[in-house]
Amino acid sequence: MKKIIISINLHLLKNETHVQFNENINGIFIKYSPQTLGIKALYDLYKSAFDNETAALDIIRKSELTAKITEQDNRRDSIYRGFADTVKGAMNHFDPACAQAAETLYDIFRHYGNIARKTLDDETAAINDLLRELSLPTAAQAVTLLGLTSWSNKLAEENTLFAELMTERYVEAAEQTPFRMKETRIETDRYYHAIVNQLENQWLTGVTALEAVIGEMNAVIERFKNILAHEKAAKGKSEKLESL
């Protein structure tokens, strides 16, 4: 069936943006009345799921751990950048053996790009992978030769502290609300797509009165598709320009 309402990969939206998208869509449904649109039953389910999603996001926003997490993320970013810069600088070492060791480590760092630009959880995983590679025989010898063991240990320490704070936030959120962000998003998306299918079916049966609501929905969807496109382009450009 030809799509009347534009498709969008809702799972790609960040939590805040996902809520903003549904706030816009919900506003359209309210404007034209779910009862009038013939989607009242599905809308009630959609609105309930969206309310749960909003509640879950509010818990994340209000978490007292948020400031600590931001501070700890900045700390590990600083350690990572210092470590990477030290490796890069050592490539100019007067001792050929040290310069070669730095080259070995530089290749590993370059593979991961600018880790500090990744999302929080992705950065945690990337640092763990980086440290694992640095612990392999050849890389470990290079780290020791250049006297960088303290950098490696410090990065591991700060990354572990960050992971522990994130775990605390997940536990805190779970204790304060029965709604988990991932699950509520899935529910919201499920009923959103069900409404889209119902509106499209009604349109195909000749309910032309839906033209206005579909037009406004498509305008919102296009705007958020552009947001996704810009984020993807910006991420690709940043990784290219800022990679080691």
E strands, the chain, in order: none
**Which residue is listed with tokens 């069936």?**
1
pLDDT at res. 57: 87
Residue 53 to residues 25, 41, 58, 153, 211: CA-CA distances in angstroms?
14, 19, 9, 39, 29
Question: What is this structure's pTM?
Answer: 0.55
Q: Which residues contact 13 (CB under 8 A, 6 or more apart)?
A: 21, 224, 227, 228
Residue 129: which residues within 8 A CB-CB, separation 6 or more? Answer: 112
Domain edges within the chain: 1-244
- 149, 143 contact by CB (below 8 A): yes
**Positive/negative CA dihedral, 196, 202, 206, 208:** negative
- pLDDT tens digit sequence for 41-88: 999 999 999 999 998 888 777 766 788 888 999 999 999 999 999 999
Query: Can you tell me which residue has the tokens 């250049």?
Result: 146
Return the pLDDT at 2: 55
State the pLDDT at residue 241: 47
pLDDT at 174: 62
Whole-number pLDDT of residue 173:
62
Q: Give every residue of the chain whose pLDDT is below 70, as ranges.
A: 1-3, 63-64, 172-179, 234-244
